[in-house]
Amino acid sequence: MNNPILQINIKYKVFGTHNGSNLRVMEDIKMNIDKGEFACIVGPSGCGKTTLLNIIAGLDRSYCGEILYKNRKIADCGPDRIMIFQELALFPWLTVQSNVEFGLKIKGFSREKRERIALEYLEMVHLTKFKNACVHELSGGMKQRVALARALALQPEILLMDEPFSALDAQTRDTLHEELQKIWSMTKQTVVFVTHNVREAVCLGDKVYVFSAGPSSTIKATFPIHIARPRYIESEGLMEQVRAVLAELRFEIKKSYDKEFA
C-alpha cells in the first residue's frame, strides 16, 4: 500500500508552562501509518505520546504542522478515530450496554439497531452477561473490555489506544493482548497504540516507533516486527526484538533523567 491512511508531519507543539514560558514538546515528527497497520509508540515519559494521540483524534488542535488522514487535513474529532483512554472514560451513569450504545445513539441509529450492534460487540469481548451491570461493578479488565467494545462498535477507521492496559495486572494484560490480537485480526482496523511497556509493543505491533526524550522529542528509531501472529510474550524471536527496542529506549530514558536532574 503506497498511500498511508495517516501522514503525520508535526513541526512542533508548544505547551505553556506555569511560569509563563513555553515548552516545545515535539520537533519534526514524521510518520506514515498504513491502513490496517498496528503501530506501537514507546518513549520516555513526557515525550508527547499522548499528545500525539490527542492530535490525531482531533481533540488537540494547537500544534504546528499537518496531519493528513486519508489525504485530508484533520480539522475536528469524529467517530472514525476513536480513542481508548489511559484512565477509562466510561460513563458511570450508564449501564455497560448503554455505554457501548452511546456513540451509536449520537450517530442517530434506531434503538433496535443500537441494541443489536452493542450486543454483538459485547459478545466479542465476552461481556454479554454483564450488559445491565453498572460500570463500578466491573473489574479493571472488564472495564477495559467495555471501553474496547464501545470503541469498536463505532467501527472506527483508526483505533487510538493510550496505555490502555497499564493499570491492569499481568495476567489480565496477557489475556487482553490475546483478545485484542484476535479481534484485530478480524476487524483489521488501523491501530495507534501508545505504551510504556516494550514487550507489549513488540507483542502487538507491526511496527514499533521509539520516541526520543522530550522536550523536543522526535522519532528515534522504527522497528518493523515480523514475528508470526498470534504472538505471546514467550513467542520465539520476541525477546531479541524487545532487547533491540529496549537498547534504544534505555538510552533515551537515561537522557530524560539526566535532563531532569541536571
Partner 1 sequence: MTKNLLNSALLKQLGFYCVLLLAWHIISKARVWPDYLFPSLGTVFSTLESGFRDHTFLIGILTSLKRLFLGFAFSVTLGGVLGVALVKFKLLEETLGGLILGLQTMPSICWFPLALLWFGLGENAIIFVVIMGSLFSITMAVHSAIKSIPPMIIGAGKNMGARRITLLLWVMLPAAVPSLLIGARQSWSFAWRSLMAGELLFNSQGLGFLLNIGRDLNDMSQVIAVMLIITLISVLIDKLFFGKLESSVKRRWGLKRKF
Which residues 151-190 are close enough to bind partner 1 by CB under 8 A?
Answer: 154
User: Around Cβ 170, how many Cβ atoms within 10 Å?
Assistant: 9
Which residues 232-261 are close enough to bind partner 1 by CB under 8 A?
Answer: none
Q: Does 140 bind partner 1 (CB under 8 A)?
A: no
87 or 112: CB nearest partner 1? 87
> CB of 67: closest distance to partner 1 in angstroms?
16
SS3 171: helix
Q: Does 75 bind partner 1 (CB under 8 A)?
A: no
Q: Where on the phi/psi map is residue 2: left (φ > 0), alpha (ψ -120 to 50), or beta? A: alpha
192 or 202: CB nearest partner 1? 192
Pick from 7, 12, 46, 59 the residue near partner 1 by CB under 8 A. Answer: 59
Contact 40, 205 (CB under 8 A): yes
40 or 135: CB nearest partner 1? 135
Q: Which residue shows C-alpha cell 472506527?
A: 156
User: Around Cβ 75, how many Cβ atoms within 10 Å?
Assistant: 9
Q: Which residues of 194-218 are buried (b: 16+ CB within 10 A; e: fewer)?
A: bbebbbbbbbbbbbbbbbbbbbebb
Pick from 23, 106, 227, 239 the residue near partner 1 by CB under 8 A. Answer: 106
* Residue ranges with strand state E in 74-165: 81-84, 158-162
162 or 248: CB nearest partner 1? 162
Q: Which stretch binds partner 1 (CB under 8 A): 33-41, 90-98, 177-185, 240-248?
A: 90-98
> CB of 167: closest distance to partner 1 in angstroms?
13
Before 215, cis peptide (omega within 30)?
A: yes
Interface ranges with partner 1 (CB under 8 A): 54, 57, 59, 77-79, 81-83, 85, 87, 89-94, 102-103, 105-107, 134-137, 150, 154
